[in-house]
Chains A and B, each alone.
Chain A
Amino acid sequence: MNGSSGSAIALRGATVRFGDHVIWEKLDLDVAPGRCLAILGPNGAGKSTLLKVLLGLLPLSAGTITIDGRPPGHGSAEAGYVAQQRVFDPDLPIRGRDLVQFGVDGQRLGLPRTRARQVDPVIEAVGAQSYADVPIGLLSGGQQQRLRIAQALAGGPRLLLCDEPLLSLDPAAQEEIVAVIDRHRREHGTTVVYVTHEITPIADVVDQVLYVAAGRWAAGSPNTVLTTQSLSVLYGTHIDVIRVHGHIVIVGGDGTGVGPHHRHDDHVHDLHDGRPPEGHQR
């Protein structure tokens, strides 16, 4: 295996712009099969845009992309997609297993038919068998998210794309979801991509990090990208990366401000809004 020939995901000089506005440019990335990539960065940095490119829903303005050596098909079954948790209405006339079945044939024409043979194995894989027949809206956020993962896995994807899958889940549920996805990755060699602005819950499972911010990007192992030096270069201002008890905290600012707890939350929030860190703004 040399170059991009054996890569699950290979981007070469990939650029997306809308009109004159460059989202990110000249992006080079290789992810080997069965590895786990985290795409990090503030809101508006183009993380979801990259996800759309990986799904084949958005063409590149320049450069090339291949998934398993081929250009991505338009919403193809080769990529499973887990969206961020969104609460389903309690009256929604749909059961967990119906939601999972959509992952097999939801895009196809005809009447819906839910087949146990097709959905039971993945429902079991995510540990949702005891509540797969309950109306989806009656389940907890964590249970719903397990079923979304089952949906994404139902088509037997080589690549699993997770768009903020842990948002609005409590820490216990976050841990469970990460474990479910990672077990599947190890057992089936599925390549996993997380889009997130919170690295901490997935820090233990991530092999590779792509950090996008302000039209620039940095890629590599978590230990090389998530450093004070590399992120400071990326943002063009001083950024602190602090590791405390397994948490990775990315802090902008020059140390002025109130208590350390307060500053942390405030400044991370700034990063998420895509604004420059507070300390250097004024």
Chain B
Amino acid sequence: MGLGFLLQQPFAQHALVAAALVAVSCGLIGPFVVTRGMAFAVHGTAELAFTGAAAGLLVANNPVVGALIGSVVVAGLIALFGARQSERDSAIGVILAFGMGIGVLLLGFYHGFATAATNILFGNIFGVSGDQLIVLLVIGVIVVAVMGIWYRPLLFASVDPDAAGARGVPVRGLGLLFLVVLALTVTGAAQVVGTLLVLSLAITPAAAAQRLSASPLIVAGLSIVFAVVAADGGLLASFQSNVKASVFITSFSFAIYVVARLTGPLLRDRRRSRYQGHFPRQEATALRPTAELPGTPVAAASSEDGGGLGDPAIRPWASGT
């Protein structure tokens, strides 16, 4: 089968369009996932799409709608239990473990053909129906619209939450909004590439883009381009071989990341030298004594204030640390 013949087949066209739609959404949210440290949230919501699909199958015989509604519920639960960043990952772990158990239970009640639910764990890029394509398109439009409207305050809140809050940016509300967008994107993507491979489109391209630029919009653009290249490039490569598409998608994505990691430091050094030549990265907490007074008792440095801070009398500002 030649590539030209394949490209005329509806299943191949659907696959290419679906992969592109998913890649654009994933590439768009990716930089925020990386900046906000939410890789585990991507993984958690992706796997819990299985539970939503099982529930949808049982209640309305519709796994896709079930997975989408489930993803919004999961986003709300993560926001509720993981309000503080430090507790978010453990909250996701808790919800993920319980949710998967519920999913297995729900699937046990279902006596039909359960492939529709388990499909979502592994994805089926060559089985994308016209209806699914429309669902993916709607998700894509929602994600692009929400991100287009709230990109700037969301970036502000992600980078510098204190200052953003002081300027009246609704930091917590935007956090919840982003979780919902993330859950919808990931659930849509899971149907195409499978929950296990979502990370290769939602994180890897953005992580690669960050290595190459520090300009927020360039990072976003590169992230989308990398995701589309990996997704559609991987598909086209699989058309011409007997290897599964997901293998190529993850490999392309990984290859882009490796190249970015190798070239990133070179770009960064060049950018640095263009300005001041050299930037000493000084540790903010490394307080150094400015002077040693003669006759200062050594014992003062090892007093109960934690030691290592030296004699407080010659550095009164140390008391504030």
Contacts and interface: CB of A to CB of B under 8 A. Distances in A.
A200 interface: yes
Given A131-B279, A134-B279, A259-B297, A107 B320 contact: no
Contacts of A259: 297, 299-300
A108 B153 contact: yes
Given A81-B163, A140-B282, A266-B305, A106 B316 contact: no
A95 B153 CA distance: 16
A108 B156 CA distance: 10
Interface string B192-213: 0000000000000000011101
Contacts of A152: 163
A262 B271 CA distance: 47
Given A112-B151, A135-B268, A148 B275 contact: no
Contacts of A142: 282
Contacts of A84: 162
Interface stretch (A7-15, A168-176, A209-217, A223-231): A168-176
A93 B219 contact: yes
Interface string B148-166: 1111110110011011111
Contacts of B305: 262, 265-266, 269
A170 B313 CA distance: 16
B316 A98 contact: no
Which of A107, A200, A258, A265 has the most chain B CB within a 10 Å cutoff? Answer: A265
A106 B151 contact: no
B164 A106 contact: yes
A199 B153 CA distance: 34
B84 interface: no
Contacts of A130: 275-276
B280 interface: yes
Contacts of B281: 90, 138-140
A112 B217 contact: yes
Contacts of B165: 57, 75
Chain B interface SS verdict (over half) = helix
A247 interface: yes
Contact of A75 (B149, B167, B268): B167
Interface residues of A, number: 77
B304 interface: yes
B167 A106 contact: yes
A128 to B, nearest CB: 11
B254 to A, nearest CB: 18
B229 to A, nearest CB: 19
Contacts of A184: none
B169 interface: yes
A91 B284 contact: no
Contacts of B209: 93
Interface in B155-192: 155-156, 159-160, 162-169
Interface in A105-128: 105-114
Nearest to B301: A261
Interface in B203-237: 209-211, 213-217, 219
Contacts of B313: 260-261, 264
Contacts of B31: 93
Nearest to B215: A95
Interface in B36-87: none
A197 interface: yes
Given A93-B214, A262-B303, A83 B166 contact: yes
Interface in A14-46: none
B129 interface: no
B255 interface: no
Interface in B259-282: 268, 271-272, 275-276, 279-282
A81 B279 contact: no
Contacts of A57: 165-166, 168
Contacts of A194: none
Interface of B: 31, 34-35, 148-153, 155-156, 159-160, 162-169, 209-211, 213-217, 219, 268, 271-272, 275-276, 279-288, 290, 297, 299-300, 303-305, 311-313, 315-321
10 contacts: A103-B167, A110-B151, A111-B152, A131-B275, A138-B281, A152-B163, A247-B316, A261-B311, A264-B312, A272-B319
User: Which 4 pairs of residues, A with B, have the shortest CB-CB distance?
Assistant: A75-B168, A141-B284, A265-B312, A81-B166
Given A106-B164, A108-B153, A140-B280, 4 more contacts: A103-B163, A112-B217, A152-B163, A269-B305
